[in-house]
Amino acid sequence: MNIHATTADSVQRPFGLRRLTGSLGAEISGLDLSKPLAAPVLTALTQALVDHKVIFFRDQPLTPEQHIAFGKQFGALEIHPFTEGSKSFANDTKNQEIIIVESTAETKSAADIWHSDVSWRVDPSLGSILKCSIAPAYGGDTMWADMEAAYAGLDNAMQSRLSDLVAVHDWHRFRANLRKQSVAEEKIAALVESYPPVEHPVVRTHPVSKRKCIYVNAVFTTRIKGMAEKESDDLLKDLYRLSTKPEYQVRFSWKNDSIAFWDNRSTQHYVVADFYPQHRRMERVTVAGDRPF
């Protein structure tokens, strides 16, 4: 189902844009992201992100400082609080805004579960800007799912059922990882106090487009508030499966200096873990967002 009637392909933009699927994804050309963007370009690029949900760039050899500067043009950048001790998912020692996601023959790392980033935050991120520094010769693609299309594809009865539901989101998987890295329990307890479980609507409204999307994910959503455990688990499993429908997906093959910028408010993503034992290194900055409604 194509729900992108808001922007015609013939509209004039200060860059090239090629749609990749009927649901989401577009490749942008004609821009040098190492330099500040003029106001009209930034406005058009922001609109392209909302319309197409994930936008891609090729041949952008940004330094870490340029990567950060590009991200800051869209808002404040987050610093991830749960990377201590990890060899494959870590804040860059010099530039804390950058998360390095790296996999080698000795250390495997791939987020091969459909998810929306940092939904455990009170104000989850607007989006993430991921740059490929070392691409494997084959494999290691990333996939995104259009959760607005997933919602639009539901029948009226299910949409009505979901309309007032609230889900609990928690960073319990990160806690397990911190314990594996022997992080002190006192520090974990302090992090839990700073980042307690949060509640978000099961169906959120995009703050710009006003379109609705499914906003639960298999990594950070733990239950639906006020619902019996089995009923909650069964409904969540049904909602998680929506991201696996090919008509809602786009798939991107990485090359060195490729960049993906996705709207975390309307998508989920998944790393295809078919590249081991090859070396794969990605660098990400995350633009802060606001509370779902």
Q: Which residues are catalytic?
A: 115, 117, 269, 284
**Token pair in block for residue 68:** 């950060």
Q: C-alpha angle with apex 170: 166 to 52, nearest 5 degrees?
A: 70
Q: Please state, in angstroms and as integers, the Cα–Cα distance from residue 137 to each residue in 44, 105, 172, following that order.
A: 33, 14, 34
Q: Please state, in angstroms and as integers, the Cα–Cα distance from residue 10 to each residue in 39, 86, 115, 228, following that order.
A: 21, 46, 33, 50
Q: What span, in angstroms and rounded, lies between the C-alpha atoms of 41 and 43? A: 5
CB-based contacts of 59: which residues, under 8 Å, 6+ apart? 257, 258
* Residue whose C-alpha is closest to residue 139's, from 254, 275, 260: 275
Whether the CB-CB separation of 1 and 242 falls below 8 Å is answered with no
